[in-house]
Structure 1
Amino acid sequence: MSITEAYERISKSKINFSDNRQDFNIQSCVRDYDTNNFTGLFDHNETMLFSNIYPYVEGRALLADELYNLLKMIGEDTQHGQTPEGTSSSVEANGLTTDMALLQKFLIFTNALIIPSVISKKDKFMAKIMEEIFDQDLSNQFKNGCFRCGSKDLLETDCPRCKRRCFVCRECLKMGEARSCTPLFLFSKEQNLQLKIKISPEASFGQNKLESMPKGKLDYDYKSDDLLENLPHLDFDLTPAQKEAYDMASEFLDREEKKALIFALCGGGKTEAVYGAVKKIIKKGGKVLFATPRRDLTRELSHRLEKAFPGIRINTFYGGFKNKLSDGEFVVSTTHQLYRFYRAFDLVILDEADAFPYRGSNNLPLLLGRSLKKDAKLIYISATPEKSLLKETKKKTAYLITIPARFHKKPAPLPKLIKVSKKGMEGNNGKFSKKITSFIDKNLDLNKPMLVFVPTINLAEETSRRLEKYLRKQNYLKKQEHLSNDADNSIASIVSFSHSKDPKRDEKLIEFTNGKIKILVSTTILERGITLEGVRVLVLFSNHDVFDDRALVQMAGRSGRTGADPYGEVIFAGEYITKAMKRARKLIDRLNKEALKKGFIEE
């Protein structure tokens, strides 16, 4: 069975915009025209309008309602931008949401692929389409599921749209309703699935890749050497380790491998290492995605990239962000937002590939693959990469790039592994093991902030209270001449806790950063994304299952990050020494030795 036959089998879906309830059959897009020749189908105004709108939808996967809302947003956006000669800007762009004949022409013009959002049973025709869309063999695992997000979690319900019982994707409910009766629109210059009808080069983006189309307002000359010559803009010089990685990431784009791994020491400055590759793709007229695991990182990264690449239009996607246009050359998004894209990017950079939500997800790797163009490149960035990815680098199927040193040219602190009884770590009535209290006392005397990691929420709160008791017994406040005796410097304000369910965690993190809180007891919620001068790290109950080698490396990576205090101190305390504790120490030691060998750090 060919792809064309499979597509024809499913090309009878009804398209419905919920706002105006106008249904039409996909086949009606062509029923009034000569299916062997589309020359003359589009007049000059339509050609200019469609050319102008297409960059907004290119590389997108959209439900009908999402397409409707996006077209409305495009109309509003073009009110404030340049208007192609012969068009009436937002009036005609918005006209696509009310004029079904115009919309049908647009779908033909863009060679859009239109498929059901959800399939509810194993179907050889659907399976063929599914494999093509996600670019891999799914015959043994995908008997039903959602074309939009890749989830298999379906629910059969009474449907207000088709007035029958049909299937809805549970995973998509919070992002828009994907049902077996509603279509999904896929827009791509690389569209391989073709209708049996023959479309002339003048009419189809999918077959001529825009080469002969009129230029709309979004055809920025990003290929210009004048624009890119002085990019990226940096407020600092790259370290030798960063510069090596920067050059290797740029060279990777010309290598045979499709994937690369940037294996970076925590605090090694991994983000800047991809800037050369980004510049190279944009110079060629390509498109880049930088995906991160969390919303706060996405916002921060977007601001950094805007400063580094002035003049390049950057679009940002994360939950709750209002503007969903993707007409820029650079997209920054959370990994959860990957469901929005289809064959969109020439380069995808996946930051913290070992972290939630990407790690352990069945859906996100599928969506990541779907977002890539056929010949695209993929760069994973991680301080604690998956074993499977490291094996690929050894087999030379993935290109390995390391950043083994921090900017201050000092080795990362090696964790000290110690055995402590459970009772000694619990600290009932403030009675902690001497190994623990000596660490606490020394760093309080040195006025060094301490991050104490524990495996559970209950332990975070209990350990915080027990440390308070210990400090009271030690008359800590009276010993600290640099502290006043006001209420703000009570023991309770010096020691605190943080975890995912703590409503004041952001406020406490600010107080910890400002030096008001001296000891912050935390779950793994703070294992990433925090840099604080002079911080010392103590991991209690390091033998707990929640502390695998990746988590331990990340927690150790909080210490020794600043030039003012580059050495830091890290202790892993457990009832016994686990393999994970040993592996974490070994990994840090490996990068230190590599950095020393290459001359990136001083002994």
Structure 2
Amino acid sequence: MSTAFFCVLKIVTDISDYYGRLCLKSRFDSAEDAKIQVLPPFDKQGHCYRCGQKNHADLPNGEFFCTVCLQMGRNSSLACFHWAKEPAADARNGQSWLTWQGTLTGKQQQVASEIIESIDSGQDRLVWAVTGAGKTEMIFPAINHALKQGKRVAMVSPRIDVILELAPRLRSAFSDLDLLLLYGDTPEKYHYTKLVLATTHQLLKFKEAFDLLIIDEVDSFPFRGDPMLAFAAEKAKKPQSSTIYLTATPTAQLIKEYRQKQLPASFLPLRFHGHLLPVLTFTRIGDWHKQLTKGRLPKKLVDQILLYAGSGQRFLLFLPRVKDLAPVLKAISKITDIKGLAVHAADPQRKEKVQQMRDKSVQFLVTTTILERGVTFPGIDVLILGADDEIFSTNAIVQIAGRVGRNNDRQTGLVLAFIEEQTRALKAAAAQIVFMNQKGQAQRDGQ
């Protein structure tokens, strides 16, 4: 039998590498240990055991494979999964793993305590925290609480950018603990650890692995609305476990579950420095696409950029589509010589360009929604050209606005949306910011 029709992963010699991990094998491979279970590639209805979907492509001799999770290695009718159940948790005698020396605000500590209560009661929880609220630091006590009980923890996010930014912060906060970082091009070789940081796609390779699953930016693409990733997240949890949903912009489904009292929620409407969110400012312009075909930008945008050229103020300029980036950057170069770069999701130099902005080597980035979340540039303003385009959802607008005012040195800033007309998404985004600011003001007033 040819081995061309199945994907064989590395030979695992440590039984712990099988704990909660779906290891793809040939169906002719025998288990290396009596504790290892051999699981079928598909259920009786034809659903893929790894991703839960039912989209097949044919192979010779009547065999077939799953086309949906192919990027994780080809799961075919010639394959199987080797998996082992993790033994009962081995607690560390209550000793703390947390090496972070920072402190939480009173409200942050309250939310952290509520998360810990959910862990102890085996409940899920929504943490609705505004951008810049310090939600990563808030989660440290909860992770530590679970680890002290010998539990296994995964913190995941749909976007690689978010994971790469979280990695050094988690490693610093838990410096005595082995942290495994998993994403598509990760250089790390898989091995069992108590703390895993990964993209949500990596959850496809787990089954009943985690006592605590923390999903950061749960509303973002590609997790939002993807049944495969929702299946993966549910499958990766142990039967008795908790999921903590972290977001500044909850999905309609999460809000519905909260309102129907099916999902407890914690609110943090103030940023770590105690200031309210910057509100949206709308500026009407004409047909900017038409002007751009002539190599020009709307006058109101030109005036704003020239102000920045004179003051040195750093900024992000968001555009609806990748095809607009180069023409806009060229048009800016005609009116000022300030340094800026264009960056988008498929840009091979994306990481380097983002780092240049962090290092203040450039004054601005022209970008798409890829930078709507997961990255922080201190002291910036935000401009959104064509904010009324359908590509900018309510959540995207709120997240983009949240790039501003995130540090102590500059706690406010400008969020300027250039539009031809108002849209439902823009109105909803403005309303959501006002809603959280009202909660934040009430909190500041001690109500």
Q: State if a TM-score over 0.5 links the two structures.
A: yes
Q: Which residue of 1 is the match for residue 216 of structure 2? A: 351
Aligned counterpart for 1:187 among listed residues 70, 84, 90: 84
Q: Per-residue deviation at 1:380?
A: 0.8
| Higher relative contact order, structure no. (Cα contacts within 8 Å, ≥ 6 residues apart) | 2
For 1:168 and 1:417, the matched residues in 2 are separated by: 51
Q: Deviations over 1:11-55 (max 9, x none)?
A: xxxxx9988xxxxxxxxxxxxxxxxxxxxxxxxxxxxxx9x9443
Please tell me whether the aligned partners of residues 343 and 367 of structure 2 are also in contact (alpha carbons under 8 angstroms).
yes
Specify whether residues 576 and 18 from structure 1 end up closer, same or farther in structure 2 by C-alpha distance, changes over 3 A only: closer
Computed over aligned residues only, the root mean square deviation of the Cα atoms, in angstroms, reads 2.8
Q: Per-residue deviation at 1:431?
A: 4.6
Please tell me whether the aligned partners of residues 425 and 540 of structure 1 are also in contact (alpha carbons under 8 angstroms).
no
Specify whether residues 470 and 550 from structure 1 end up closer, same or farther in structure 2 by C-alpha distance, changes over 3 A only: same
Aligned counterpart for 1:61 among listed residues 14, 19, 22: 22
Please tell me whether the aligned partners of residues 18 and 65 of structure 1 are also in contact (alpha carbons under 8 angstroms).
yes
Residue 375 of structure 1: SS of its match in structure 2? Answer: strand
Q: Deviations over 1:93-143 (max 9, x none)?
A: xxxxxxx6xx47x33xx2x44332135xxxxxx2xxxxxxxxxxxxxxxx5
Q: Which residue of 2 is the match for residue 362 of structure 1? A: 227
Q: Does 1:148 align with 2:50?
A: yes
Aligned counterpart for 2:160 among listed residues 279, 285, 295: 295
Please tell me whether the aligned partners of residues 241 and 600 of structure 1 are also in contact (alpha carbons under 8 angstroms).
no
- Which residue identity lines up with residue 503 of structure 1 in the other structure? P
Residue 264 of structure 2: SS of its match in structure 1? Answer: strand
Aligned counterpart for 2:68 among listed residues 171, 192, 203: 171
Aligned counterpart for 1:595 among listed residues 426, 440, 443: 440
For 1:3-14, list aligned pairs within 5 A. Answer: none
Q: Per-residue deviation at 1:503?
A: 3.4
- Which residue identity lines up with residue 39 of structure 2 in the other structure? I
For 2:436 and 2:191, the matched residues in 1 are separated by: 38
Q: Does 1:583 align with 2:428?
A: yes
Q: Give the unaligned 5+ runs of structure 1.
A: 1-15, 20-49, 69-99, 120-125, 127-142, 159-163, 190-208, 211-218, 472-490
Q: Deviations over 1:150-186 (max 9, x none)?
A: 232210111xxxxx22011123433222111322223
For 2:289 and 2:79, the matched residues in 1 are separated by: 60
For 2:351 and 2:275, the matched residues in 1 are separated by: 31
Please tell me whether the aligned partners of residues 314 and 328 of structure 1 are also in contact (alpha carbons under 8 angstroms).
yes
For 1:283 and 1:445, the matched residues in 2 are separated by: 54
Residue 267 of structure 1: SS of its match in structure 2? Answer: coil
Residue 561 of structure 1: SS of its match in structure 2? Answer: coil
Q: How many residue pairs align between the two structures? A: 439
Specify whether residues 431 and 371 from structure 1 end up closer, same or farther in structure 2 by C-alpha distance, changes over 3 A only: closer
Aligned counterpart for 1:378 among listed residues 243, 252, 266: 243
- Which residue identity lines up with residue 422 of structure 2 in the other structure? I
Specify whether residues 185 and 571 from structure 1 end up closer, same or farther in structure 2 by C-alpha distance, changes over 3 A only: same
Q: Deviations over 1:283-324 (max 9, x none)?
A: 222111111223343344333223222433332322233544
For 2:440 and 2:268, the matched residues in 1 are separated by: 8
For 1:232-243, list aligned pairs within 5 A. Answer: 232-243=98-109
Specify whether residues 519 and 315 from structure 1 end up closer, same or farther in structure 2 by C-alpha distance, changes over 3 A only: closer
Q: Does 1:499 align with 2:344?
A: yes
For 1:182 and 1:379, the matched residues in 2 are separated by: 34
For 2:217 and 2:172, the matched residues in 1 are separated by: 22
Q: Which residue of 2 is the match for residue 115 of structure 1? A: 39
Specify whether residues 498 and 325 from structure 1 end up closer, same or farther in structure 2 by C-alpha distance, changes over 3 A only: closer
Q: Deviations over 1:418-453 (max 9, x none)?
A: 222114884565654443233223333221012111
Q: Deviations over 1:59-114 (max 9, x none)?
A: 1212226998xxxxxxxxxxxxxxxxxxxxxxxxxxxxxxx6xx47x33xx2x443
Residue 444 of structure 2: SS of its match in structure 1? Answer: coil
Q: Deviations over 1:235-273 (max 9, x none)?
A: 4322333222111111222447x3211111111111121
For 2:389 and 2:130, the matched residues in 1 are separated by: 24
For 1:259 and 1:402, the matched residues in 2 are separated by: 15
Q: Give the unaligned 5+ runs of structure 2.
A: none
Please tell me whether the aligned partners of residues 318 and 337 of structure 1 are also in contact (alpha carbons under 8 angstroms).
yes
Please tell me whether the aligned partners of residues 51 and 204 of structure 2 are also in contact (alpha carbons under 8 angstroms).
yes
Q: What TM-score does the superposition give when structure 2 sets the normalisation length?
A: 0.89
Please tell me whether the aligned partners of residues 430 and 467 of structure 1 are also in contact (alpha carbons under 8 angstroms).
no
Q: Which residue of 1 is the match for residue 116 of structure 2? A: 250
Q: Which residue of 2 is the match for residue 273 of structure 1? A: 138
Q: Which residue of 1 is the match for residue 197 of structure 2? A: 332
Please tell me whether the aligned partners of residues 157 and 216 of structure 2 are also in contact (alpha carbons under 8 angstroms).
yes
Q: Does 1:521 align with 2:366?
A: yes
Q: Does 1:539 align with 2:405?
A: no
Q: Deviations over 1:457-478 (max 9, x none)?
A: 121111111222233xxxxxxx
Residue 118 of structure 1: SS of its match in structure 2? Answer: coil
Higher Rg = 1
Residue 373 of structure 1: SS of its match in structure 2? Answer: strand
Q: Deviations over 1:384-443 (max 9, x none)?
A: 110110111111111111222222222221011222211488456565444323322333
**4+ aligned runs moved over 6 Å, structure 1:** 16-19
For 1:124-143, list aligned pairs within 5 A. Answer: 126=44, 143=45
Q: What TM-score does the superposition give when structure 1 sets the normalisation length?
A: 0.67
Q: Which residue of 1 is the match for residue 93 of structure 2? A: 224
Q: Which residue of 2 is the match for residue 284 of structure 1? A: 149
For 1:413-428, list aligned pairs within 5 A. Answer: 413-423=278-288, 426-427=291-292
For 1:534 and 1:425, the matched residues in 2 are separated by: 32
For 1:175 and 1:18, the matched residues in 2 are separated by: 10
For 2:379 and 2:125, the matched residues in 1 are separated by: 33
For 2:351 and 2:153, the matched residues in 1 are separated by: 31
- Which residue identity lines up with residue 435 of structure 1 in the other structure? K
Please tell me whether the aligned partners of residues 329 and 342 of structure 2 are also in contact (alpha carbons under 8 angstroms).
yes
Q: Which residue of 1 is the match for residue 182 of structure 2? A: 317
Specify whether residues 303 and 293 from structure 1 end up closer, same or farther in structure 2 by C-alpha distance, changes over 3 A only: same
User: Identity of counterpart residues, as a percentage?
Assistant: 29
For 1:515 and 1:183, the matched residues in 2 are separated by: 50
Q: Per-residue deviation at 1:274?
A: 1.7
Q: Deviations over 1:555-582 (max 9, x none)?
A: 1111111111111100112110111111
